[in-house]
Amino acid sequence: MGYIAELFGGGKKTYELGKNYDFPEQISVKATPEQEDLPEDPYELERAYRKDSICFNAINKHVQMIMSAGYELTGEENSVKQFGDFFENVGDVGEDITFDEIFEAIYKYQMIYGNAFVELVFNKKMDRIVDLTLADPKRMDYAKTSDGKIALNKYGKPIGYILKLPWGVTAEGDKIPEEYKSKVSKDANQIFMLPERICHFRLYTVGDRFYGIGLIEPAYKSVVRKMNIEEAQTNSIYSRGTYPVIAYVGDPTHEPTPQDIDAVLKNLVKLKHDRYMAFQNWVKVEPLEVKQSDVVDQTLDYLRLNQTASLGMPMAFATGTGENTNRATLNNQQRFLEFTLNDIVKKTLSTFRKYILKRISFYNRIKEIPKIKWGDIGAEEINEKSERLARYIKSGALKPEDITRFIKKSEGLE
């Protein structure tokens, strides 16, 4: 039936990637999200990651757990080798980056911004993919019309992407297809990119699914409020330093004059530098104790809880403070965390296979498309898993040779 027909699911006709054919048109219509439904400013989401310790630690731990599981290409031997060679040479043509770093960034960017963009680097003839590189999600968006709506073709698909260049930087983008030139509006510091160049990863989606939602956005306002309260509290403590000192001048037998009060005040000011001073016995000096409001601590605890709920990370793991959580509850929270991470991996690999592996297979004429098999994601102790597997062997459910690979991997022998 032919390779191209097989690539796109068979049929009597063969189709070329990226071309539109006279298929039945869809009835549903897609539209740009309304202003109130647009994602948070990616610059602000990045600021939350950079400046908030819980966001920073939780997302880093997510990515570390995912990447520590490892992955491998599986499938037909020759295709696996060709793809393996391609990934080994990632970074030779585009930016200096490794394939592992690209995968790590895809996961991290999705968690921070909700979106990640990988550019498939073509040769000049646009008939072969020679490299992969990352695009900054803060500077990437769909090509839009002059009124700010996403420019779509008749099938409801975006006609391309826009990359915003830093001022003073020039680059040559793709030519906007003739039939869409009147639709696309772009500034002088922006370039157009065809959709086949870009693999757009979206973590969680709603509505027409144009934009992804990351792990920070649902609790973004809580993050901002928490940081503002923490800053206000710190400034308050800093400005107080120690408790204010109050002097009571005079007693029933000594009526103080304005000069007496002024002299005592001048001596109190010297407390910043002097350790010792003396006053008349009718002058009483004592600190004014200022109590911390319990409402502030309760509010901060609520905001942190809201934040960790959005991040999908148990509070004890996110803060690293060993919260008073019983072991059974913590184990359940750990399982939910692993569900979340496995779901993120599954979504990511599905997109990666369809929009990167499949395109590389087509343009570089690699017959088979391999699968990426991700390792086990879990924080389970090796000893616990070993004991469980030993029980399976003892009961006859498993044979020793069935777990040989696990033993080699867990002991670092592979």
Residue pLDDT, tens place only, 314-339: 887 777 665 566 666 667 778 888 88
Q: Are residues 201 and 226 in the same domain?
A: no
User: Is 412 among the domain residues?
Assistant: no
Most confident among 3-7, 43-47, 285-289, 290-294 (mean pLDDT): 43-47
Q: Which of 355, 408, 53 is nearest to 197 (CA)?
A: 355
User: In this structure, which amino acid lies at residue 10?
Assistant: G
Q: Are residues 59 and 153 in the same domain?
A: yes
Q: For residue 271, give both structure tokens.
A: 């407390």
User: Is 319 among the domain residues?
Assistant: no
Contact 102, 132 (CB under 8 A): yes
Q: Are residues 213 and 353 in the same domain?
A: yes
User: Is 393 among the domain residues?
Assistant: no
Residue of higher predicted confidence among 219 and 24: 219
Q: Are residues 69 and 112 in the same domain?
A: yes
Q: Which of 115, 118, 158 is nearest to 138 (CA)?
A: 115
C-alpha 199/C-alpha 102 separation (Å) is 12
Mean pLDDT of 334-352: 92
Query: What is the pTM assigned to this prediction?
Result: 0.78
The predicted-structure confidence for 67-113, as pLDDT tens digits, reads as follows 998 999 999 999 999 999 999 999 988 788 999 999 999 999 999 99
User: Is 401 among the domain residues?
Assistant: no
The domain in which residue 291 lies consists of 221-312
Mean pLDDT of 121-129: 92
Q: Is the pLDDT of residue 137 over 80?
A: yes
The residues near 42 (Cβ < 8 Å, ≥ 6 apart) are 113, 115, 137, 138
User: Is 380 among the domain residues?
Assistant: no
The predicted-structure confidence for 269-313, as pLDDT tens digits, reads as follows 877 666 677 777 888 887 776 666 677 888 888 888 888 888 888
Arithmetic mean of pLDDT over the chain: 84
Q: Are residues 50 and 133 in the same domain?
A: yes
Q: Are residues 25 and 150 in the same domain?
A: yes
- Beta-carbon neighbour count of residue 201 at 10 Å? 23
